[in-house]
Each structure stands twice: as C-alpha cells, then as structure tokens.
Copies of this chain bind each other. A is one copy, B any other.
C-alpha cells in the first residue's frame, strides 16, 4: 500500500512518475540498457539532459542570458559555491531566517566578509525581517536569502529590492509558485523536494555574473565550467536528472507552475485553516510568512506529539515528525502531495484531537 509521505526531503514523488520509471527501468528509450547504466555521452541520454534543461527554462520562464545547470552536492555545497563564484570584492549580505540560511552565512564567512544584515532567530525564525528596512552593504557582491525555510515553515512574501545581485536558495519551494527569475542573480535548489530524488542540485545563474570565480574555487564548483559543458563536464547524476525530466513533463501537462501554485495554496489553506480553528494544534509562524510547502505544528505536549506521530504512521501518514530544532510535527506538502493526502491528514488530526481531549 502506498502511504502519504510528508517527508521534508527526500520527499514524495508522484505515483505516475514512479511507475513510468519502473516500467522502463531495464530498457530506457529502447536502448536495451537501464537509464542507470547508460553512458552520459550516449545520444539518448544527452537528449534527456537537454530536454530537462529546456523544461526548466520553459516552466520557470528563465531568461536567455541565464544558464541552467545540473550539479551535485546539494544546497549545502552551493553554500560554498556562492561565495567561491561571486565574492570578488570579499563581502556579501546574508539574511538569516532559518537553519539553512544560517549555514549559508557561516559558509560565507570562510571566504570573506559575510554580513548578517537580517536575523529572525529572536522569535525562533517565525517571521521574515522587513526587507525594505534592512541596511544593505555598499559594494556587496550579492545578497543571499533562503526563500522558503523547510524547518521552521516560513517564506518570503516579498523579496529584497537590493542593488547587489540577489541569490536565493529555493530548495524547498522551487517550481511550487511563480518566480520572476530575472529579479535574481542566482537561484539554486536541491532537487529532493519538488523535482527529483536526492543527488541533484539545480543552479540558475545570470551568465554575466559568473565569469570570474575565485581562484581557490574547485573546478567542479565553477558554475561557468558547468555551463560551458552543458552540465556534462564530468559524469552527471544521471538518474535524478532523468527523474527530474519526468517530473517536469508531468508538471507541464498539469498546467505548469501557475496551476500547481493554485493547488499548493489550496492545500496549504485547508491545513492552516484547520490548525487555526483547532484547540489542540498550533502553528507559530506569522500568517504573512507561512510557507505553503512546509507546515510545522505542535500540540504543546511532547508526549502527545510523539503519540500523534506514531498513530499517524499506523494510519499511513508518514514522516510527520518535526525537525529536532522545532519539535512537534511537520507536514511537508510539496507539489507531489495530492489534495487527498492533505485531507487525509486533516481527518486524522480531527480524530486524534477528539480522542485526546
């Protein structure tokens, strides 16, 4: 029996995509080989890379002067790649709105003057600082944000309007809502939430910004090198690229980002409305900044939380345990989580609330 998987990442992939991958697992595109064993220089596989790139471009309306590259190492590797590719003047601004935003900032400190210009840790990252009131550093190489905070469940409702190029880690929300890519210098994202199995990272960067990486930048982390080689500088993470292609094809068929955004907002509203109306559950994020991807909630009683998680699992609602930094529960309701999954969760929450009054 397939369960509803609320994991924050790696996370649910649509059953249709999984079935397609399974059905052609031993014979990819009539090659007589699995996509997991075909040479990355084979024309059949090169076509996958090209098609996947072109789907990314189409679905996010990526401007022509931006590259779209597929790399490895997760967003955590990009925390270093960002300064190593961009920090030519030795300073950059960081807005610290969660755990990964903080890690990105700390990694920036290795390579230069990473200035923390905003910080919402005073209220356990339950809001986003007012980006219009921050003091941006003159001459900064970039301003780094984490657009959606997986752990704390917050997200930007508007983006900084800064002089320096805006760099965003969009790991947990890419392809979930409309994004004007032209407002960003660089967008990067680990694929394991809305795009593909773990092991793939996507980087979208304005080409004019990435021409002079720092000398100490490992060749493999140079976006310019990856761009010039069409993501085939070395052997790419072939299977997740292929899966990303399947996921994006399905997204396109379903109406693209605009269509999925409506569904995502509907799913999130169902869940937040229920939580806000309930006497047992609580979400601590300021409403304006509530993520439509990651919905943490608590009962306020750690024992009851544990009971909830265990009984939910029995009911086929899995990976609802909150991150250890927050406790309680977290429902990650990425693109692949169907409305029925959210409704099943709400029904379970109702039942649990009644039983545990």
Q: Name the CB-closest residue of B to A3.
A: B32
* Interchain CB contact under 8 A, B36 and A18: yes
* Interchain CB contact under 8 A, B73 and A40: no
Does A34 belong to the interface (CB within 8 Å)? yes
Does A218 belong to the interface (CB within 8 Å)? yes
Does A279 belong to the interface (CB within 8 Å)? no
Task: Report the bound CA distance from A221 to B81 in whole Å.
Answer: 11
Contact of A26 among B15, B33, B192, B240 (CB under 8 A): B15
* Interchain CB contact under 8 A, B25 and A37: no
The interface-forming segment of A230-238, A250-258, A280-288 is: A230-238
A32-53 interface mask toward B, CB cutoff 8 Å, 1 = contact, 0 = none? 1110111110100000000000
Does A203 belong to the interface (CB within 8 Å)? no
* Interchain CB contact under 8 A, B7 and A38: yes
**A38 partner residues in chain B, CB cutoff 8 A:** 5, 7, 10
**A73 partner residues in chain B, CB cutoff 8 A:** 71-73, 77, 220
Q: Name the CB-closest residue of B to A6.
A: B39
Task: Report the bound CA distance from A339 to B36 in whole Å.
Answer: 21
Does A243 belong to the interface (CB within 8 Å)? yes
Task: Report the bound CA distance from A58 to B287 in whole Å.
Answer: 53
Does A11 belong to the interface (CB within 8 Å)? yes
* Interchain CB contact under 8 A, B21 and A33: no
* Interchain CB contact under 8 A, B21 and A37: no
Q: How large is the interface on A (under 10, 10 to 19, 20 to 34, 35 or more residues)?
A: 35 or more
Does A123 belong to the interface (CB within 8 Å)? no
Q: Is the interface of A mostly helix, strand, loop or mixed?
A: loop
* Interchain CB contact under 8 A, A40 and B10: yes
Return A112 CB to nearest CB of chain B, in Å.
11
Does A84 belong to the interface (CB within 8 Å)? yes
A window 213-267: CB within 8 A of B = 215-216, 218-221, 233-240, 243
* Interchain CB contact under 8 A, B198 and A80: no
Task: Report the bound CA distance from A170 to B121 in whole Å.
Answer: 45
CB within 8 Å for A218 and B218 given contacts A10-B40, A36-B13, A72-B74: yes
* Interchain CB contact under 8 A, B26 and A25: no
* Interchain CB contact under 8 A, B72 and A239: no
**Can you list 22 residue pairs at the A/B interface with Cβ under 8 Å?**
A2-B27, A5-B32, A7-B37, A10-B37, A10-B235, A10-B238, A11-B39, A12-B33, A15-B26, A18-B36, A18-B37, A19-B26, A22-B25, A36-B243, A37-B197, A80-B221, A111-B216, A198-B238, A199-B199, A199-B200, A199-B239, A199-B240
